[in-house]
Structure 1
Amino acid sequence: MRNFVNVVERSFSLSSSLLLHLHKVQFSPRKNCIISIPVGSHWISPHLAPISEVIDHCKRLTTRVSFDEGEVKDDNLSQMLNAVENAPESATSKIGTAYLHNLCKAGNLFTAVRLLQLLCDKNIFLGPSAYNIILVAASEKNDIAILSQVFKDLIVSCQSLPSTSYLKLARGFVKTDDDVQLLRLVKEVSEMTFPSNLMVVNRIIFAFAECGQFDKALLIFEQMENLKCKPDLVTYNTVLDLLGHAGRIDEMLCEFASMKEAGIHPDFISYNTLLNQLRKVGRLDLCSVYFQDMVESGIEPDLLTYTALIGSFGQSGNIEESLRLFNEMKTKQIRPSIYIYRSLIASLKKMGKVELAMNLLEEMNASMSNLASPKDFKRTRK
């Protein structure tokens, strides 16, 4: 019998009706012998029906739940609620999540939301992954009302949300241009999370930027004055990065100036963002300007800084400055990366300095095990 249960659970991801009975049933150590089944339970024996019929029976309770003009069949919803509530603590989340998955698959988002709310009323929290199931389903149906409500419920239920929840929220707005609904949601979330609302709004902006919805991210940023939270260094660094990736360099530089005017001091992330984006678009003259500003501000260049500068000076033909910076970083015991070596070698060959390029190639190959890795490009604030 244990093998049968494993098959059903794997095949149907802990289907609703099956789970309703299984957590009440005791199994004998003897093979295929059920000790007891609660009176009144309707059970299909695996010996009397093919597996397809058993699975169909498992689905029946969830798919039968529907709503007509907003009304839910209370008996089926109550059965699901009781099944989750009375399940062993270790199985509560799996059972509840299975119900939500099947409800969303059947298109019954209203019922899924109601089930979550009723569980919360009983102090049963399934975790962000359960809410994410509905967020995804609401996104697919472009149901912004349910998307917004579930995200607000999640904010209330969970002190710290994973980044996946913010990303799923942002993806839900991909198909809509209704900025009014977006700003209303952000405002409500901001009010619900005060006084820690700045962190939440920053993560929403970052999520929209990550999804490539730059205009919506900027819209939220521009409305922060109305949200009782002022932009901080994290906000500006996010905005600088998204403007740079969008190729809106002049706007990026304007926001950098606005940040300083607001009394927010740029950090190494701010400057590295500027240097990298300026190099990518060929604004090499400005790289020197902002590097000088960085040094005068007392901020030490790191691996990412040197990577951008060495590349930009090499592109502009100033190979001497690239080599000077390369030696400077090694003097400061900042390990070069393979990207810096390749950049220098390419620039030297382009300038006709083939012998020096070959020397650097040999140096790179000899120190391959000691070169900076991708994790060295990430530096945390102190």
Structure 2
Amino acid sequence: MYNNNILIGVFKNFKYKSVEYLNELENLLKVFNGKVKNKFLQRRFKPHNLTYVGKGYLKKVALYVKENLIDTVIFDDELTLSQIKNIEKEIKCIISDRTKLILDIFLYKAKTSYSKMQIKLAQYEYLLPRLTHMWSHLKRQKGGIGLRGPGEKEIETDRRIIKKSILILKKKLKKFNYQLLIKRNRRKNKKSISLIGYTNVGKSTIISNLTKNKLFIDNKYFTTLDTKVNNYYFKNKKFLIVDTIGFIRKIPTTLIESFKSTLLEINYSDIILHIVDISSNFVIDKFLYIMDFLLKLNIIKKNIIIVFNKIDKIKNFNILYIKKIFNNKNILLKNNYIYYLYKKNNKKYKKKINFIFFTKNNKIYINKLKQLIFMVSAGFEPATS
């Protein structure tokens, strides 16, 4: 499906950031080795309600698609059913959006039956309101509820099939979640560390360096989907290290809901390692995206260590670089701590966070990270301020 593609986005007033967003969409396509033939950006206050981009601009895109034999057009936002219908009247090829692409990647990357069920549930919930115009028809089931009655429309049959599948998946996931809860309770007396961060920031690399367990590492988005727990010993003290799925801008809400039980693993952790790719574009946006997510999960008061990863990619890296980059109204860098400023229930709070630098396969940085983890777990550093 994702062979020759073009990407389309709209931007309000910051074109450079919008270009970066489309670059991120291109990186998502690399999971399928998809090729991007061109990128189209239109400046608008917000996406057009009927055609996403303006009608004139849509005709321009349609002409390009016809002349260059484009297979798929991917939009940077989730399209509504009416937008899909109107776009397909002009553009004669497969129409996709950011949400569908991410769902396809998750399904392609899923390894365990648990994660496959979570993603299937998210896909069905995405498809349900779009059945009247979905791109590929569902395979019919025979007999039982899926049997089509005389004169019944195919769309109603599909709707019943999906609704039934959603109910079945939710029951199975509920059973799996109960089993996960039992496993968590068994290890509640053990110190645990969860790694969280934007996708492709190097979480698996850090775990490999800490535990000496060789994990599969690939420079592509969403290498890890399944929550993995590794044993780790330091100074005769046992830790459990939990690797969680990476995050990305505009992640589908259906996926967040489906993976909520997996993400709650973070809530059982004593320490959260927030991994930040310091060499990434818009590092502040990505940093705040994760911090805001921790705030929404109501676990912001936990011990957090910011790990600035990939410092080797920054020429002449030092603390002044961090001070320059982290110049934001929601962040304060002071006395070798990062302060995350946030509001909750109309009250202002300030979260004090340890931070450390890191680069792979460097024993000095690896040992410094181990020492900081040990100190924080022993209570030598405050969790909040």
| Normalised TM-score (structure 1) | 0.27
TM-score by length of 2: 0.27
- Please identify which structure carries the higher helix content: 1
Greater gyration radius: 1
Point out which structure has higher relative CO (alpha carbons under 8 A, 6+ apart). 2
